[in-house]
Structure 1
Amino acid sequence: MAQPSYSRDELVSELTSYYEFLTQIYLPPEVIQHPPEGGWEHITPDFVKSFCLGKNDTVADLMKHIPYIRRTKEDDWDPWQIYGNATPVDFTSEIVLDLPSKYANESLFEPYEGSISDIPPHVFVYATIPSGYNGRYIFIDTERGTIVVADPQTGPKPTRLSDPEAADEEAWRRFQTYTFREFFSMAKEMFRKFEMIAVDRKHVHCTSPDVPEAQIYREEGVFTERYDRERCMDRLDEYQEQENRADREAQGHE
């Protein structure tokens, strides 16, 4: 098995490939914000420091060079998800850049206080729970070259690179831990097996291959040349509306 080591370029390549993969399923290509040559000009160690992120220069360099998923004011309360109930932070958006520091809206950048543990300066909080407490945080550890997936509700499910004996102040290390390649390969395979599904245009759930949404994808030929993303999304919208209507009728609201 491959042992982890940190490479910014490898992470950027794997993340870019993953986003391109998601466009084959549900993600509109136009929401992917690719960095210009040389990286995002405004993301510097001084920006990271002034924003009170508490991250080191290696994390600042990573932030400067990765692609981001657009998060505008219009979709702030319903952001795009890229893994089961996980929304990537967008350091190019007005949502972030209009804030004086992370303390104006900490839940965009860090786990809720007391939910896991403090995240150290060498770890980038790549994705957060979009709302509430049900979901996953995704961390990029630039010292070890690993990705950590943390679900505070279900607790740690250690993998070979986890540290189940980590001290409480490093509790984040107890969760599922992967090399960059392992994580993105696993995530793609979960989508292919319908163990993880975009249940509509924005929301991704870890679920069963037998759910009705998975059948819609199969009927539409996802991962084949005949697949039409927009047509499939329209069918998912229609299915969700039918489910909502049935729920309202069952509750006597219609």
Structure 2
Amino acid sequence: MVSIHDLSYSREATVAAIRDYYRFLVSMYMDESNVLEPPAGGWPSIPPHGWANFGKTDEVMGLLRELPYLDQCSEPYQIHAAPYTVFADWQNTEENCDGQKLKKWTEPWPDEIQCEIPAHIVGLTAYNDPSPAILLDTELGVIYWYECSGKLEENDETEGVQGDPYAWEEDGLIPEDQVEWRGACGIWSIENFFKMLKEQFRKLNFVPIGPREVQDVWVGQADELKETQVAVQNIYRKHGWPDMARFNREACRAEVKLAIRPWQN
């Protein structure tokens, strides 16, 4: 396990980890055109000091300006970067947006967790049923998966963060009102979080159902949909997954498209 005291935050390393993760998804199932890279100087649509009522630090805003994003406005529907999970497309946000609405879109609401999410923490995902809240901490250098499935943590071979937020509060790392919601999270270093996601894809615990939808093997499915999920897993294995030296991405995508067509119509 990784000690929280041994971690640090780096904007450069965080951008690199997210970019590497999106490249991994493209190598497996996603269309390359869905990954949007920032122009030199960062996304001009993201204000350097944030939107009105957003209340995030300049470091958070600097990170959002430099990240690559998934194009969530492309047709026919939003793209999953993990099971049922829609990563926020911050660069597509209007300049005059209400920051409170943006936080409500990406974070557990204060009424839900009985406190405000701190200014140095930002949501990476659109938080709605079923897309989970996944948040990045630019002070501690960790990522929180709010109300993370126990099945995921049981099947995680990467190193999570040692200890728990109750100990962090005693050490003076976080205030008392921030303990409970963090205690409801799976917590990883930023680098290990994305390693963990990739590991679940390699095991096919995360199953891409076409180029935009991802399911996991733990959520109950109707018999017909479960059969499709198993068929897709078998197709990936047939085409060499997870051995990237053998994996035939295009042949796999074509066969998956045929396999999922009956229940999509």
- Output the TM-score relative to the length of structure 2: 0.75
Structure 1 stretch displaced more, 149-158 or 32-41: 149-158
Shift in CA distance, 45/230, structure 1 to aligned 2, threshold 3 Å: same
Q: Is residue 87–residue 124 contact of structure 2 (8 Å, CA) maintained in 1?
A: yes
Shift in CA distance, 71/98, structure 1 to aligned 2, threshold 3 Å: farther
**Partner of residue 249, structure 1:** none
For residues 71-129 of structure 1, the C-alpha deviation after alignment (integer angstroms, 9 at most, x for no partner) is 21645xx3111122211111222xx2277324567653333564445322110101134
Name the SS of the counterpart of 1:61 in structure 2: helix
**Partner of residue 81, structure 1:** 80
**Equivalent residue runs for 1:83-232 within 5 Å:** 83-93=82-92, 96-97=93-94, 100-102=97-99, 108-111=105-108, 114-116=111-113, 118-129=116-127, 131-132=128-129, 134-151=130-147, 160=162, 162-163=164-165, 170-174=179-183, 175-207=185-217, 211-222=230-241, 223-225=243-245, 227-232=247-252
Q: Which runs of 5+ in 2 are unaligned?
A: 154-159, 170-175, 219-228
**Partner of residue 252, structure 1:** none
- Pair 1:67-2:68 in alignment: yes
Distance 1:60 1:122 in 2: 10
**Partner of residue 172, structure 2:** none
For residues 197-228 of structure 1, the C-alpha deviation after alignment (integer angstroms, 9 at most, x for no partner) is 212221222226x8332111111223434544
Q: Is residue 58–residue 142 contact of structure 1 (8 Å, CA) maintained in 2?
A: yes
- Pair 1:42-2:41 in alignment: no
**Partner of residue 54, structure 2:** 53
Distance 2:152 2:195 in 1: 21
Residue 216 of structure 1 aligns with an amino acid whose one-letter code is I
- Output the TM-score relative to the length of structure 1: 0.78
Residue 70 of structure 1 aligns with an amino acid whose one-letter code is D
Residue 137 of structure 2 aligns with an amino acid whose one-letter code is D
Q: Is residue 91–residue 97 contact of structure 1 (8 Å, CA) maintained in 2?
A: no
Q: Is residue 65–residue 91 contact of structure 2 (8 Å, CA) maintained in 1?
A: no
Shift in CA distance, 25/116, structure 1 to aligned 2, threshold 3 Å: farther
Structure 1 stretch displaced more, 163-172 or 65-74: 163-172
Distance 1:142 1:41 in 2: 21
Q: Which residue of 232, 237, 247 corresponds with 2:257?
A: 237
**Partner of residue 173, structure 2:** none
Distance 2:181 2:80 in 1: 21
Distance 2:194 2:74 in 1: 28
Q: Is residue 115–residue 152 contact of structure 1 (8 Å, CA) maintained in 2?
A: no
Aligned residues: 236
Residue 181 of structure 2 aligns with an amino acid whose one-letter code is W
Residue 68 of structure 2 aligns with an amino acid whose one-letter code is P
The share of aligned pairs that are identical, in percent, is 25
- CA RMSD in angstroms comes to 3.1
Residue 237 of structure 1 aligns with an amino acid whose one-letter code is K
Distance 1:70 1:153 in 2: 27
